Structure 1
Amino acid sequence: MINIKKILVSSAIAVSAFAFGQGTFASTNYPQSYDSQNSNISKESAEKLLSAKELVDIKLNSMMNDPVLRNANWGFVVYDPKTKKIISSYNENASLIPASTTKLLTTETAMNLLGENFRWITQLEYSGEIEDGVLKGNLYIVGSGDPSLGTNKAGASSYSQIISEFISAAREKGIKKINGDIIIQTGVFKLNKSQSLPENIVWLENGNYYLPVGTTHEINPQNEKLIAKKSNPFSENKNYYYISPYIGQMVYADKFDGGYLTTKLPDAPAYLANSLRAAMLKSGLSVAGKVVTKSTDPNPEKREVITSYQSPTLAEIIMYTNQHSDNALAEATLRMVGFQKLGDQTLEAGRMVVNNHLKSVGFETDGLNYFDGSGLSRANVVTPISQVKFLANLMNEKYYKTFQETLPIGGQTGTLKRMFNTTGNGQIFAKTGTLNKVKTLAGYMKTNSGKTLVFSLLINNYGGSVDQVKSKMEQILEPTLNL
């Protein structure tokens, strides 16, 4: 916690000079150029007399009365992972909405449990016999819950690319006609209808809903409406926004008659199978049957693999998730750690796995509520001190370097490309978070002396605009680079 009294006592002269340089005293009759020059000299003199830590604490103290932050609920910590001590902090134990910095917990858990080189496999298989180019049996698409399937994200292939490869492989196998069905084997999925509206949705400006996980229950695709491409697509009406499994784009519906949310994942293999059947028919490879989904198969047919599609590595998917703050990938990843660990591909299983993992690595769970994988829900809360200790402990893991490289870099990549364009450029490696009146940042910094420090800055209910609070965040972090 800041001890500003000690700083003021030990550095009274310096602070006086600093205050003069900031115009605290009455203006003189000197020319403006002289005032400006004198101000710079005074400020430089103050900074030379004060330590880097004292300058950080003075900056924090000044921010408490800043119009953007004085009525906000916010917390900040700079932590030294080597000494395991707090360098400077404010409200470090406050439970605050972390927004998309929640993805740090989701993606690190996945990398820890699955490994950075983990890949999802989607297989094309067949049952029966192939005689004179005719498959007397069924085609099977066997999915494993690939969250990137068909998205083009993180280097993933598009549906059309996967379909082209599947058709080519089927032809190479000698298949020219299919007498049976195309069966989607979705045994990894369970019907995921657990949260009733509006428990797991986020309020946006103007009273709109945003559904963070894929599709919705019982919304007719004919009633979906594409979001217009304009600066603020959200109208004054109450609408429900989600990713359509039918066209793969953000849409909205005027009303929501269903009572549940469901994930997008089960629709991915269905879309692939239906598209595969259509492409086969178009290319002259006839399919007598239809697309059938089997979540359970008590009497499985003997099958042989025709070909398989591999997802990008988990590290590549996490890189895309954190760089772009991709909510759909984060939610899919949460559900997949639940399946991989507990065999249950539901939100509850994913949350249990993440919480158990956090406890196993010594995460301080006081003040934590991990509600979803993306940070879209305002039910998520975390303390700044628990975030920094978690990130500091992560530095001891063998995959730390890979994980750190997934984070946006100040002034250079991802969601930090437009922040820290001057001071801090290339020195801040952190996950951003944004909700209405919530702005957050947590990660690592390379100081000017070459040290690696960990920090968390969580701001809730700030005043002013997003640009204004981002500017204040930069001002708070600027002096920490000299620590």
Structure 2
Amino acid sequence: MIRFLFAFILALVLTGCAGGSRIVKKNTESILGSSFYQNQFTGFVLFDPGSGDTLVSYNGQKYFTPASNTKIFTLYAALHMLPDSIPALKYVFENDTLFIEGTGNPTLLHPYFEDKGLMRFLKSQAHIALFLDNLEDEKYGPGWSWGDYQYYYQAERSSLPLYGNVLTLRNDQGLQASPIYFKDSVVMVRTSKNREIERNIFYFDPSRQDTLEIPYRGSKELTRHLLERELGKELRLVDKMPIGEKKVFYGIASDTVYKRMMHQSDNFLAEQLLILASSTLSDTLSSERAREHVLGTLLPGLRQEPRWVDGSGLSRYNLFTPESMVHVLHRMYLEVPRAQLFGYFPIGGESGTLKNWYPGDPEPYIYAKTGSLGNNHCLSGYLITKSGKTLIFSFMNNHFRHPSSEVKKRMQSILEKVRDTY
């Protein structure tokens, strides 16, 4: 009798799951087949990691421009290749001089991070020599928009970035500039341009009340000058590191960088994290080497190998499938503790880039990463149903002409139906 009752209950559960799956598939395909989607490219994959079933796959194997969904792959790379603390720099002592080379560490003097331990270490040294020729990457990634050089989201990449490679300006009883080194290079005038394209001449509207962040044009000499000013001592540039075993100085907790990258969709942090990951493979920094390691060694099971060209998703050359996004999200779901993993992602209705979308009823139900470029919007992550199941999804929209708010409304409608019916 007990066996019969157990079998009956199990049959009811399985029947309910199958029914929920059919409803989800029917509702989703009905919406995606509407006239709204006729003149755009849409892909949607919904996966149940509990049962191992793919509930919906609508163009799941086709390639899309992912925009900042690329950061999901960057997060996966960082979680596997970096230690719990950021490798802040590499160094060798020779006689009374500290020779240092960058690792791509994005946190040194960054306005949102405090690494006082690293600054104390550098200030305690009598003589410091900088080696700044160990990065193979160009300052800008392939396919980045040349006209975006003046906006905070397209800061240059470098081996030893300072201040997030941006100048921060605000009007607080007079012009406030960080780093102050650039204050005399700021022209107080109302103009559509933030900076000269080839020079560190900046423009700031004196009536502006909010903070303005402008990428500065970097060089080895500029890095030396900025660091000299902060350390209060002269530094010298060298063209090679001395022979000897290099040591690593570890900085702040890596998690704090990952969370800001994902919640704020910070392109600079994403780019530098890939460079930083490459520092664990070689002294020569190369984000390409890091990407090749991830795809060739860490993710050999991808059914559709992506075209992955940068860490942030700024490039329209990137191509990923919804299925590959779900694959990596599933890998992280299996490998990272749930609370830690969900903490990396913006929460629907509460935080980051999802603060104004996908509100919970009453609890949050979406933990996901957005990705937006002109005429493209994607969302990939985790969905909690009202029945308590965790689902993994990737929803990619490319080349639409509708307002992005209309696209998001329909995405939200689909995901709410999944939440309520499965």
Write out per-residue CA displacement over residues 181-201 of structure 1, whole angstroms, 9 at most, x where no aligned residue: 6422447x2353498xx9431
What's the counterpart of residue 44 of structure 1? none
Is residue 2:55 matched to residue 1:87? yes
What do you get for the CA RMSD once the two structures are aligned? 4.4
What's the counterpart of residue 201 of structure 1? 144
Is residue 2:323 matched to residue 1:369? no
The DSSP-based 3-state class of the residue aligned with 1:147 is: coil
How far has the Cα of 1:55 moved from its partner?
A: 4.0
Paired amino acid for 1:61:
E
What's the counterpart of residue 291 of structure 1? 235
Is residue 2:64 matched to residue 1:96? yes
How far has the Cα of 1:114 moved from its partner?
A: 2.1
Write out per-residue CA displacement over residues 179-236 of structure 1, whole angstroms, 9 at most, x where no aligned residue: xx6422447x2353498xx94313789x9999845169xxxx9998899999xx689x
Write out per-residue CA displacement over residues 131-152 of structure 1, whole angstroms, 9 at most, x where no aligned residue: xxxxxx5465554432222113
How far has the Cα of 1:376 moved from its partner?
A: 0.8
For 1:78 and 1:466, the matched residues in 2 are separated by 22
Change (3 A) 1:150 1:251: closer
How far has the Cα of 1:314 moved from its partner?
A: 1.7
The DSSP-based 3-state class of the residue aligned with 2:353 is: helix
Write out per-residue CA displacement over residues 416-437 of structure 1, whole angstroms, 9 at most, x where no aligned residue: 1111125585111111111001
Aligned residues: 374
What's the counterpart of residue 359 of structure 2? 421
For 2:24 and 2:187, the matched residues in 1 are separated by 47
What's the counterpart of residue 214 of structure 1? 156
Identity %: 24
Is residue 2:214 matched to residue 1:250? yes
What's the counterpart of residue 355 of structure 1? 295
What's the counterpart of residue 319 of structure 1? 259
Paired amino acid for 1:148:
T
How far has the Cα of 1:118 moved from its partner?
A: 3.1
Tell me if the contact between 1:76 and 1:89 (Cα under 8 Å) persists in the aligned partners: yes
The DSSP-based 3-state class of the residue aligned with 2:279 is: helix
Change (3 A) 1:351 1:53: same
Tell me if the contact between 1:201 and 1:209 (Cα under 8 Å) persists in the aligned partners: no
Change (3 A) 1:338 1:229: farther
Of residues 130, 153, 156, the one that matches 2:114 is: 156
Tell me if the contact between 1:432 and 1:442 (Cα under 8 Å) persists in the aligned partners: yes
The DSSP-based 3-state class of the residue aligned with 1:443 is: strand
For 1:229 and 1:397, the matched residues in 2 are separated by 51
Paired amino acid for 2:229:
S
Write out per-residue CA displacement over residues 72-126 of structure 1, whole angstroms, 9 at most, x where no aligned residue: 10100110112221112311111111111111111111111224x1322448987
Tell me if the contact between 1:68 and 1:462 (Cα under 8 Å) persists in the aligned partners: no
The DSSP-based 3-state class of the residue aligned with 1:312 is: strand
**Larger Cα-atom Rg:** 1
Is residue 2:137 matched to residue 1:192? yes
The DSSP-based 3-state class of the residue aligned with 1:402 is: helix
What's the counterpart of residue 46 of structure 2? 78
How high is the TM-score relative to the length of structure 1?
0.65
How far has the Cα of 1:394 moved from its partner?
A: 2.2
Write out per-residue CA displacement over residues 139-184 of structure 1, whole angstroms, 9 at most, x where no aligned residue: 655544322221133x4338xx9657754x46xxxxxxx6xx6422
How high is the TM-score relative to the length of structure 2?
0.73
For 1:91 and 1:202, the matched residues in 2 are separated by 28
Tell me if the contact between 2:103 and 2:276 (Cα under 8 Å) persists in the aligned partners: no
Tell me if the contact between 1:204 and 1:436 (Cα under 8 Å) persists in the aligned partners: no
Is residue 2:395 matched to residue 1:457? yes
For 1:73 and 1:234, the matched residues in 2 are separated by 34
For 1:162 and 1:244, the matched residues in 2 are separated by 30
